[in-house]
Structure 1
Amino acid sequence: MVTQIALVTGGSRGLGRNSALALAKKGIDVIVTYHSKREEAEAVVQQIEAGGRKAAALQLDAGLISSFDGFVQELTGVLRGKWDRGTIDYLVNNAGFGIGASFETTTEEQFDSLMNVHFKGVFFLTQKLLPHLEDNGGIVNLSTGLTRFASNGYSAYAAMKGAIEVLTKYLAKELGDRGIRVNAVAPGAIATDFGGGVLKSNQTVRDQISSVIALGRVGEADDIGGVVASLCSPEMGWVNAQRIEASGGMNL
């Protein structure tokens, strides 16, 4: 049986790291990308390899579209050198960051930085990788619960993720003849470093948000990685073009 390979962008920490580890537990080799946290990415690689899977880490600025050709060239070189092939089976578009700013104070610079990473970058990186994505593989795009329920300060961020959810359906439609499934995972409030890590450090905020979640607690990265990995498994082979919210039942 041919080993499957997943590429996880932003896989050095947070949800990307957890997704990479969950994929490895399912027997899938993993390539993670990082923006600047090389040591953290290498630690993920070491943890995956300690568990018996192959892994690699590559630098990628997910918002710098002009760098994508060079990245794809580097990726294919690593694939041939380490796996003796030039393709991946799964792409997890996870890389991202948050900016909390009201609609009226959001600057064009903030808007463009969010757009480049969360939508334009995803659009064109996926496009560049299509020739290197195996038929009958899959794409998982990370969205957010904020596309369903609004929260002050995230109008631009949530709008980009709303675009990702629409793109997910179009990709599923256009790539269906290749057997490529495309789905979106929409996490709720998760205690990671995202947005300054307030959900990790501020108990008052944690308590407040926990009060509007049906399961009564803030989410952790471990609550999301398995959802992403499951979409890269045969058991989910008939799930396509879906937005899967993993929020514990937030703001019902």
Structure 2
Amino acid sequence: MNYDTLTLDTAGAIATVTLNRPDVRNAFNEQSIAELTAAFTALGQVDGIRAIVLAANGSAYCAGADLNWMKKMAGYSEDENRADAMGLANMLRTIYACPKPVVAKVHGDCYGGGVGLVAACDIAVTAEDVHFCLSEVKLGLLPATISPYVIKAMGENAARRYFLTAERFNAREALRIGFVHEVVTASSLDGQVTAIANALASNSPNAVREAKALVREIASQPVTDVLVADTAHRIANIRASAEGREGVAAFLEKRKPSWLG
């Protein structure tokens, strides 16, 4: 598939999806949302891809909604607005549920829906000069479609503050509240993201896929008999899997597992 609003590159087992609308600070519109959905759907099904980096070109990571798109939405009916919002909601869920681990490589400002984009990724690494802002209430709007991911990423207490105040917060604050995993200098960003992506790509593809699902499906559940049985079932299944058997054998035999070639 050819993309107009993003680029897609692969290097070995790592794919990089790069937002490529620098003239509008990589703001979302219908086309960019559809292309991100298509790209992550496709990459999730490629056996040779083991990690995906979500990056951006230009001075900003993502400024949220495109102004022309917002003007168009102002004239939509309620049904049209609902259908439009579902496009963004489905795109975020596609990234969040992608079978491959996704690393956000964040530079420049990240506002509104861009914050949701980072939150939908599995790992977020940001340059130290980045600022974030959940600015929706300044415009009389809500960060509704991004809220499931942002609240999971930063926690309810921090979300309550930043959803309501629309304050800008910097990378160090994002790290303090747990929204991002690591803050590095701008010159170190590429190298650190590459190191994390390489670490992801070196692990058992099946185990990484199942571990991502494990976190998504187990988080916040009460520890009940059903949950205990479910976790026992998961480990039993993966022990009996081809990669599970190969990984243990390789460890015991002090050799590389087959997925490393």
Q: TM-score, normalised by structure 2?
A: 0.31
Q: TM-score, normalised by structure 1?
A: 0.32
Q: Which has the larger radius of gyration?
A: 2
